[in-house]
């Protein structure tokens, strides 16, 4: 950037400042006594470019107005790499601030209007902002000190600023990740507490289901035992009269079978004696007896005695067959009835309902629930306390007689009816407990679902935390790499600055000092030929220190020129030779004339310039304490 003209009204000291047709190359010398307005020229340039000055920050912008005035303006004509621009800025005491940037040949059509828009567009054109400007091309009236290594301007010149900007973005992201992790951690902790409040026990659902299934199996077994007892008792009682009837008929038939056998034997023997052995004495005696008993006896009747014997034999066989049938039927009915004994034993094996045992199998309930269950149990027991189970002695007696099929119907009914009532009551109580277990299983199942849902959410949150941690680790690694790159860039920057200073330092110091060592923190040491070692700056004179710092400042300017600025550039040095003696001033002026091809327009402010300086100024502006207008 080269300044072509400066026009201002009511800026600081000057009611009017009009510097036109300024030379594009060479030294523009500004001289005059103290408080004559020399520095105001540089401050006006600074205000026109950036809306502020070095000595007055953004909050003190109203102090830029000349005392007693209500508004001020500044117009700067400049060129960048062959393109001419006009920048205008306006400020009033009410704080109204405006800016306008346009091409010099078309001022009616601005390319940017407004403070923010002009600032953005100006940065694109110039390649630097206020901080870089005051650290390089603008040396305000102040003590020349070592540039601060952590200033934005120096970092920008060094090329470290973009790296640090990226690293800062990563640090902000890491901070956001930390906040996210903390929030997620709080959510995970809340979920963990909720899980603890659920009091979930691994495997408890299976225990409850096993207990429920076991109770269901027991109920079914009890029902089966009860049904079998009822069925077996019915069969026993149905068979009992039939068994008695079969036994009675069998007894009668056995008698008639025996009688028939005797008669068959008697008649058969008589026939044998009379028909086959008539000569025997027994036969004669039998015949005489028959003749006596039956006066009309005839020998022809002997055959009928044989027929009678055969008839009685047949009748005995029929009675034997019928007796065997009734014996078999009685045995069959007895076998059917003996099932009643097995049913009695199975029914007797049914254990009574014990609430405590069931509760222990499924886990102890809460105290309040337990008390309520106990109260309900007591009320229910009082309602069924008449349902007593038959005694063991009655069972043993009935079982023994039932196995012999000796128990009568009244005896069976007297035992079975209370036993059935007792079994039904036990089954009802167990069914109530079974349904309670079912509800408990349902509650536990819902708790399992809640635990699964909460665990899934917590796993998701923990996975997010792990993913965030991986992102943090990546960014931490990136920051580490950026810091390494920044260190490398800073090292190269220091080396380049050192080389640039080595070109001007011998000229400024008349060859007395030629080499500098610039540490990473931009602290400077100068090599002394006399001591053959590097010295701290506090070991040299104040004039030499300022010469070294001026060379360092100009080196920073050249570095910014090579990195960010297109075309030629101006520099404004306000009292750079303060505390210089005349010889040092002469050498410094001469060094500045040929220091850099790109740093072509150099504004230098001094109270007076030494006589005999072998330097030709491109322009010479003289300021006066008594004048509030300056034109050239």
Give yes or no: residues 367 and 342 share one domain.
yes
Give yes or no: residues 36 and 155 share one domain.
yes
Residue 188 or residue 546, greater confidence: 188
The count of residues in the chain is 632
What are the DSSP calls for 285-299, one per residue? Answer: HHHHHHHHH-TT--T
Which residues 6+ apart lie within 8 Å of 301 measured at CB? Answer: none
* Contact status, residue 125 vs residue 85, Cβ threshold 8 Å: yes
Greatest mean pLDDT range, 18-32, 127-141, 156-170: 18-32
Q: How far apart are CA 352 and CA 332, in angstroms?
A: 35
Within 537-617, strands assigned E span: 569-574, 599-606
For residue 367, the model assigns a pLDDT of 44
- Please indicate, yes or no, if residue 448 is contained in any of the structural domains: no
Beta-carbon neighbour count of residue 587 at 10 Å? 20
Is it the case that residue 213 has pLDDT exceeding 50? yes
Which residues 6+ apart lie within 8 Å of 600 measured at CB? Answer: 2, 24, 25, 26, 568, 569, 570
CATH of the domain at 90: 3.40.50.300
595: its two tokens: 């220091």
Tens of pLDDT, residues 510-533: 677 777 777 666 667 788 777 777
What are the DSSP calls for 192-239, one per residue? Answer: HHHHHHHT--TTHHHHHHHHHHHHHHHHHHHHHHHHHHHHHHHHHHHH
For residue 381, the model assigns a pLDDT of 45
Give yes or no: residues 401 and 502 share one domain.
no
Chain-centroid distance, C-alpha 85: 57
Give yes or no: residues 433 and 298 share one domain.
yes
* Contact status, residue 563 vs residue 153, Cβ threshold 8 Å: no
Is it the case that residue 357 has pLDDT exceeding 70? no
Is it the case that residue 382 has pLDDT exceeding 70? no
* Contact status, residue 207 vs residue 401, Cβ threshold 8 Å: no
Tens of pLDDT, residues 388-399: 889 999 999 999
For residue 360, the model assigns a pLDDT of 52
- Please indicate, yes or no, if residue 16 is contained in any of the structural domains: yes
For residue 145, the model assigns a pLDDT of 57
Instruction: Say how many domains are in the chain.
Output: 3
- Please indicate, yes or no, if residue 536 is contained in any of the structural domains: no
Residue of 111, 146, 183, 120 lying closest to 465 (CA atoms): 183
For residue 385, the model assigns a pLDDT of 47
Tens of pLDDT, residues 412-444: 999 999 999 999 999 999 999 999 999 999 999
Tens of pLDDT, residues 245-286: 988 998 998 999 899 999 999 989 988 888 888 888 888 888
Is residue 384 very low, low, confident or very high in pLDDT (cuts 50, 70, 90)? very low
Is it the case that residue 364 has pLDDT exceeding 60? no
Give yes or no: residues 153 and 187 share one domain.
no
Q: How many CA within 13 A on the CB side of residue 487?
A: 5
- Please indicate, yes or no, if residue 284 is contained in any of the structural domains: yes
Give yes or no: residues 121 and 80 share one domain.
yes
16: its two tokens: 């009017």
Give yes or no: residues 238 and 181 share one domain.
no
- Please indicate, yes or no, if residue 340 is contained in any of the structural domains: yes
Map 450-479 to HEC letters: HHHHHHHHHHHHHHHHHHHHHHHHHHHHHH
Among 131-145, 168-182, 219-233, 394-408, the range scoring the smallest mean pLDDT is: 131-145
For residue 143, the model assigns a pLDDT of 54
- Please indicate, yes or no, if residue 417 is contained in any of the structural domains: yes
Give yes or no: residues 332 and 186 share one domain.
no
Which residues 6+ apart lie within 8 Å of 167 measured at CB? Answer: 478, 479, 482, 483, 486
Q: How far apart are CA 510 and CA 586, in angstroms?
A: 10
Map 38-79 to HEC letters: HHHHHHHHHHHHHCCCCCCCHHHHHHHECCCCCEEEEEEEEE
Give yes or no: residues 318 and 467 share one domain.
no
Q: Which domain holds residue 548?
A: 2-167+483-511+541-631
Is residue 371 very low, low, confident or very high in pLDDT (cuts 50, 70, 90)? very low
Give yes or no: residues 185 and 259 share one domain.
no
Chain-centroid distance, C-alpha 546: 61
For residue 47, the model assigns a pLDDT of 94
- Please indicate, yes or no, if residue 12 is contained in any of the structural domains: yes
Residue 584 or residue 111, greater confidence: 111
Among 196-205, 432-441, 532-541, the range scoring the smallest mean pLDDT is: 532-541
C-alpha dist (Å) from residue 466 to 171, 174, 462: 18, 14, 6
Report H helices in 509-541.
none
For residue 310, the model assigns a pLDDT of 93
For residue 148, the model assigns a pLDDT of 52
Map 127-178 to HEC letters: CCCHHHHHHCCEECCCCCCCCCCCCHHHHHHHCHHHHHHHHHHHHHHHHHHH
Which residues 6+ apart lie within 8 Å of 128 measured at CB? Answer: 136, 137, 156, 560, 564, 565
Tens of pLDDT, residues 148-170: 554 555 666 667 778 888 989 99
pTM across the whole model: 0.55
Q: How far apart are CA 135 and CA 153, in angstroms?
A: 6
Give yes or no: residues 93 and 16 share one domain.
yes
Share of the chain above pLDDT 70, in %: 90
- Please indicate, yes or no, if residue 527 is contained in any of the structural domains: no
For residue 153, the model assigns a pLDDT of 57
Adjacency order of strands within the sheet including 83-92: 112-113, 97-103, 83-92, 71-80, 2-11, 14-19, 629-631
Give yes or no: residues 104 and 233 share one domain.
no
| Domain-terminating residue out of 481, 498, 530 | 481
């Amino acid at each position: 950037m080269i300044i072509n003209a400066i026009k201002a009204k009511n800026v600081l000291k000057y009611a009017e400042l009009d510097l036109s047709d300024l030379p594009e190359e060479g030294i523009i010398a500004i001289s005059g006594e103290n408080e004559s307005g020399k520095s105001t020229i540089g401050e006006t340039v600074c205000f026109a470019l950036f809306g502020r000055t070095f000595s007055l920050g953004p909050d003190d912008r109203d102090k830029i107005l000349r005392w007693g005035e209500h508004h001020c303006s500044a117009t700067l004509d400049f060129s960048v790499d062959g393109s001419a621009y006009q920048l205008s800025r306006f400020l009033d005491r009410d704080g109204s601030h405006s800016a306008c940037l346009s091409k010099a040949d078309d001022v009616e059509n601005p390319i940017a209007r407004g403070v923010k828009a002009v600032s953005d567009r100006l940065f694109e054109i110039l390649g630097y902002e206020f901080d870089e400007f005051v650290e390089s091309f603008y040396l305000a009236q102040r003590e020349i000190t070592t540039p601060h290594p952590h200033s934005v301007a120096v970092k920008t010149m060094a090329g470290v600023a973009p790296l640090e900007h990226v690293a800062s973005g990563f640090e902000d992201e890491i901070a956001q990740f930390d906040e996210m992790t903390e929030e997620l951690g709080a959510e995970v902790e809340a979920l963990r507490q909720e899980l603890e409040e659920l009091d979930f026990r691994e495997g408890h659902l299976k225990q409850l289901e096993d207990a429920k299934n076991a109770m269901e199996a027991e109920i079914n077994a009890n029902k089966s035992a009860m049904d079998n007892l009822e069925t077996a008792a019915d069969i026993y009682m149905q068979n009992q009269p039939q068994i008695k009837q079969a036994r009675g008929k069998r007894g009668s038939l056995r008698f008639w079978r025996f009688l028939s056998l005797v008669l068959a034997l008697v008649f058969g023997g008589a026939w044998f004696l009379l028909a086959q052995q008539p000569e025997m004495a027994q036969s004669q005696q039998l015949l005489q007896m028959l003749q006596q008993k039956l006066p009309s006896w005839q020998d022809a009747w002997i055959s009928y005695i044989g027929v009678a014997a055969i008839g009685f034999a047949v009748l005995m066989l029929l009675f034997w067959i019928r007796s065997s049938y009734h014996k078999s039927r009685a045995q069959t009915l007895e076998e059917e009835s003996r099932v009643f004994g097995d049913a009695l034993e199975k029914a007797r094996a049914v254990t009574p309902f014990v609430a405590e045992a069931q509760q222990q199998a499924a886990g102890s309930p809460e105290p309040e629930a337990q008390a309520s269950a106990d109260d309900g149990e007591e009320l229910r027991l009082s309602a069924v306390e008449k349902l007593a189970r038959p005694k063991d002695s009655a069972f043993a007696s009935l079982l023994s007689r039932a196995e012999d099929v000796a128990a009568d119907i009244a005896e069976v009914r007297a035992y079975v009816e209370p036993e059935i009532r007792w079994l039904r009551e036990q089954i009802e109580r167990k069914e109530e407990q079974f349904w309670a277990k079912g509800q408990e299983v349902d509650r536990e199942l819902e708790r399992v679902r809640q635990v699964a849902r909460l665990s899934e959410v917590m796993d998701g949150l923990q996975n997010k935390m792990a993913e965030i941690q991986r992102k943090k680790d990546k960014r931490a690694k990136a920051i580490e790499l950026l810091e390494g790159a920044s260190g490398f860039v800073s090292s190269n920057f220091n080396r380049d600055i050192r080389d640039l200073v080595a070109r001007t330092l011998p000229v400024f110091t008349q060859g007395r000092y030629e080499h500098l060592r610039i540490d990473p923190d931009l602290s400077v040491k100068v090599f002394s030929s006399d001591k053959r070692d590097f010295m701290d700056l506090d070991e040299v004179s104040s004039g030499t220190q300022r010469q070294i710092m001026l060379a360092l400042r100009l080196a920073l300017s050249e570095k910014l020129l090579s990195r960010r600025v297109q075309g030629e550039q101006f520099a404004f040095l306000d009292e750079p030779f303060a505390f210089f003696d005349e010889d040092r001033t002469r050498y410094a002026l001469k060094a500045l004339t040929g220091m850099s091809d790109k740093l072509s327009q150099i504004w230098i402010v001094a109270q007076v310039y030494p006589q005999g300086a072998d330097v030709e100024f491109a322009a010479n502006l003289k300021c006066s304490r008594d004048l509030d207008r300056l034109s050239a």
